[in-house]
Chains A and B, each alone.
Chain A
Amino acid sequence: MCPGEGAVGGAVLVGDALGAANPFTGEGIAQALETGRIAAEAVHDHLSGRCPMEVGYGERLREAFPHRNDWLDWLAWLAERGGFRMREFWEVVSGRVGSVGRGLRAIALEEKPPAAALAGADQHLVQKSWAKAEEIIRSRNPMLAKLLSSVREAHPREAGGVPAEYWKQAREHGEGLDGPLALADTGGLGCRGRWGRGGKLGDGAAFAARPLGRGRALAGNDGRAGGGDVWLTGGAHPGGGVLVRARSAERLCGSAVAQRTGAFPRATQAPANPHTGCGDDRSRVAARRRDFLRRRLFGRRLGSRMNESLLTHLIRTVSWSYWRSHSVRTVLTMIGVGMGVATVVSIANISVSVLDSFRKMIDTLAGPAHFEVTNWGAGVDASLLDEIRSTPGVQEANGVVEAFVPLADHPEEQVFLFGTNFLESNAWEALFPSDAVHIEDSLLFLSQPDSVAAQRALLERAGLKTGDPLVLLTASGPAEVRIRGEIEAGGSAQLFGGAVLVMDLPAAQRLLGKGNKLDRIAVIVEDGMRADEVGERLTSEVAGRAQVGHAQGRGERAELLLFSLRATLLIMSLGAVIVGSFIVYQTVGISVQQRYRILAILNAVGVRRRALLHLCVVETFLVAAAGALVGLLAGQVLSRVAAGPVGGVASQIWLRVDAAEHVSSTSGVLVALSVGIMAATVAAYLSARATLASPTVEALRPSAMTPDPGGLDARRVLIASALLSAVWLVALAPPDLGLAETVSLVIVTHSLGYAAVALIAPSLVQGAGWLARRAVQRSTGFASRLAAENLSRDARRSGATVIVIASAFGIATVVAVLAQSFENSWMTWIRQRFAADLYVGHGERVQLIAGPPMTRDLGERIGAVEGVAAVEPIRTPEGAWPVLSLD
């Protein structure tokens, strides 16, 4: 048998001893496992008399690594031809140049590297060709030269190779063994005498030890164990230098092959091994294994801390080490979780802030009144005021006129003009506290019809002071008032950002053209009187002339008007939850997938998959919790920043609200934290489970990748189609459902839509990859062809990105379609309903707070404008669609 075929004497070389490592990267763990599996099968064939070891192993190696000589061809080709251009490189990468091309393609696309099986003897040839090839490449292709030289500098040992030493030691050990065969690896042969116990590690061992802490993963390099017909030597048994190979070799020899053939002598039939517990009962084996692993993996200090769980140790050693060595990746994961949480928190806070501001405005304006007497938009006759005051049980009744009026100098700013006898009544103490209202001459204030008192915030904003004139745009044109008072605090300061003017009632009536009308009469019931009885008396008193309602009823009516706003915010919140969940899921999923090799190595060294699953979940929980806290803070800041603009939009569409006062939504915070942490944990669980479900050998391949199944997944497409169809099931809902039920139904059906997108996303990626490959089929551009090849390499991971973008864009589309449809329908309704070319309104969108009615004089003036054919007066009842008034 020649050395290159992997067996000599009684020894079968595997892994590094065979030279089975990627010459570019020096990576050899996967090759060690794979050659171990091949060797085990060859050993089985040999023992069963089917095929001699000397023949079977070599054939199997050649079959498994058919392109190993391609590299020699390629290097020779490079050396002889002396030329290498990008186009040729692409030809090679695309696999058009036969076996040589497949070799390069494997490197470029991270497929199974054919160079992995370069035997030790082959490496000599590689070394001879290398210098010449590198010289040529360096002069012709800087990119490839950089790669080659960097790899060589990073792994000089691989480039150098010492196959002769391997073979020498293999012969010594192989011939001296009691059994007919031995599996050897550098852990047992190459390391012996050269690196020794606690000395320098091989690349594979160092890689295995890295997440655990250098030096901890290694024990003696010269252990021998086993029995029967098979000897496991050096790195091929758990006491050896490289636990990765040891565990896998044991598994391969002891279970996979044996169970399949039923003839191979199982490792468990051997005498009890002090390390592995082979041959012992299962519980003792498990206990010994745990003890062994703890001592080997985490050092002897663990012996004094036996109460500490394996999980805690894994987090302390593996996770902490990973977080520190990949701090940027860890921070990015936290940011991903934080973004999801921040999105939900900010939307919830904005929603609550807007609605809370609105409720406060209603409560403030209502004051201490128990009842309000109104007459829709027509106004209440002022003569009713005395009748109401004389009604038994009524302590106080105050007439009010109120309107939003623009400032002439700042038309974009509307001020709330509030007219009542605020100086004579204590009913408005909360709104205008007496110690906060500064009027130098009360007599002058009351006697002059143009007197107003203004909120200090408004004065500061407009650069005004007491005594200055102020021009308001009223229904009858610009009207000048004079500031004769200043209000520095109180409930009015909370209203509309302080844009509040207060006037004496008669002056306000005159200014707003109300005549003898009042917008409402606020009624306070005497202490000790039953409000219901007083309300009934008032109702009978004003019957036919006005309506009596509870003061809080105005808030309820207004909340009804704001229902569409609430529904919109609720749907936005839903979108935020979904998008946040996807962001968190995708971030964590990628984070776990990026660590699949570390997880596979841990599994290979003996940490059970269940423990790894727990490790992933707990570790992600910790990262997600930290990210969620950061997101919580970010969400608070974001909502403070965005509440103002959102409130402004709401003011323009519905009615004036001031969301500047920030309110934190407790339920929103809880939902956000739950969504963030749960989505992260579920993502970690699913990703880790998927990762750990693949065979360890596959996961440890340097080029391990999710295979592209090709084509569309018909089952996913069918389920997604069914879910999309189910979105329309909401149409079957009965019309008398309550608010909560209706909104819940809408949310559930929308969630089905997003779930459908999540299901179909990988198939979309595959479809896009297929199209891209077709599109660039004739292209000679390297980047485009490589991109097309890569597009569907990992459809599941790319699909997660698609889901995030699609869900975010979906939310935006829903809002855009809703807004556009609303505007279009509204304008269409106006055109059909009124059939006019121009509409003039008094400025109020919703007549929750009565606006100044337009005068007939204004209608006449509009009619006198050149080009106006007719003026048609319109008035709609309070509470209907936005009021259009024309005179």
Chain B
Amino acid sequence: MLGAQIVLVSLRLVTGWQLTLTFPGMELLIGLVLVALISAAAGYVPARIATRRSAQAVVAD
């Protein structure tokens, strides 16, 4: 929505340009997949490290 606001309103206000709003579906889809993968990795790596600790150490902590 912010992208649409920039293209349709803000840009015209700032520069006078009137652009047709185009949604880069493929790029954003790739971005979403990347975000999902990175988020999964961000959860997986610490979880893997945590599971390597002994339960005794975890409980004692």
Contacts and interface: CB of A to CB of B under 8 A. Distances in A.
B50 interface: no
A159 to B, nearest CB: 13
Contacts of A25: 59
Contact of B3 (A150, A742, A816): A816
A116 interface: no
Interface in B36-57: 39, 54-56
Given A150-B55, A154-B60, A805-B35, A818 B7 contact: yes
A426 interface: no
A167 to B, nearest CB: 28
A125 interface: no
A817 interface: yes
B59 A814 contact: no
A746 interface: yes
Interface residues of B, number: 32
B47 to A, nearest CB: 11
Given A24-B59, A151-B59, A746-B14, A731 B9 contact: yes
Chain A interface, >50% SS class: helix
A817 to B, nearest CB: 3
Nearest to B32: A809
Contacts of B17: 564, 825
B2 A742 contact: no
Given A153-B56, A730-B5, A749-B5, A821 B39 contact: no
Contact of A818 (B1, B6, B9, B20): B6
A154 to B, nearest CB: 5
A663 to B, nearest CB: 24
Contacts of B15: 563-564, 567
B6 A746 contact: yes
Interface string A813-841: 11011111111110010000000000000
A750 B22 CA distance: 19
A695 to B, nearest CB: 25
A753 B55 contact: no
A265 interface: no
A322 B28 CA distance: 42
B53 to A, nearest CB: 10
A820 B13 contact: no
Nearest to A749: B5
A816 B14 contact: no
B2 A750 contact: yes
Contact of B20 (A151, A154, A724, A821): A821
A735 interface: yes
Contacts of B4: 817
Interface in A144-193: 146-147, 150-151, 153-155
Contacts of B1: 724, 727, 753
Contacts of B9: 728, 730-731
A25 B59 CA distance: 6
Interface in A536-579: 563-564, 567, 571
Nearest to A826: B19
A444 interface: no
Interface in A123-158: 146-147, 150-151, 153-155
Contacts of A750: 2, 5
Given A150-B55, A746-B14, A816 B5 contact: no
Contact of A813 (B11, B20, B28, B54): B28
Contacts of A813: 2-3, 28, 31
Given A147-B55, A820-B27, A821-B22, A814 B6 contact: yes
A653 to B, nearest CB: 14
Nearest to B8: A731
B3 to A, nearest CB: 3
Contact of A150 (B2, B22, B24, B56): B56
Nearest to B20: A825
A821 B2 contact: no
A649 interface: no
Contacts of A825: 17-20, 22
Given A728-B5, A730-B10, A753-B2, A817 B59 contact: no
A693 interface: no
Contacts of A742: 13-14
Contacts of A727: 1-2, 5
Given A24-B59, A724-B1, A817 B14 contact: no
Contacts of B11: 818
A730 B13 contact: yes
Contacts of B54: 150
A154 B17 CA distance: 69
A868 interface: no
A814 B6 CA distance: 8
Contacts of B19: 821-822, 824-825
29 contacts: A24-B59, A150-B55, A151-B59, A155-B59, A571-B6, A727-B5, A730-B10, A731-B9, A733-B13, A746-B6, A746-B14, A749-B5, A753-B2, A805-B39, A814-B3, A816-B3, A816-B27, A817-B6, A817-B21, A817-B23, A817-B24, A818-B3, A818-B6, A818-B7, A820-B24, A820-B27, A821-B20, A821-B22, A825-B19
Interface of B: 1-7, 9-11, 13-15, 17-24, 27-28, 31-32, 35, 39, 54-56, 59-60
Query: 6 closest A-B pairs (Cβ-Cβ)?
Result: A817-B3, A150-B56, A150-B55, A820-B24, A825-B19, A824-B22
Given A154-B56, A817-B23, 9 more contacts: A146-B55, A563-B14, A727-B5, A733-B13, A746-B13, A749-B10, A818-B11, A820-B23, A824-B19
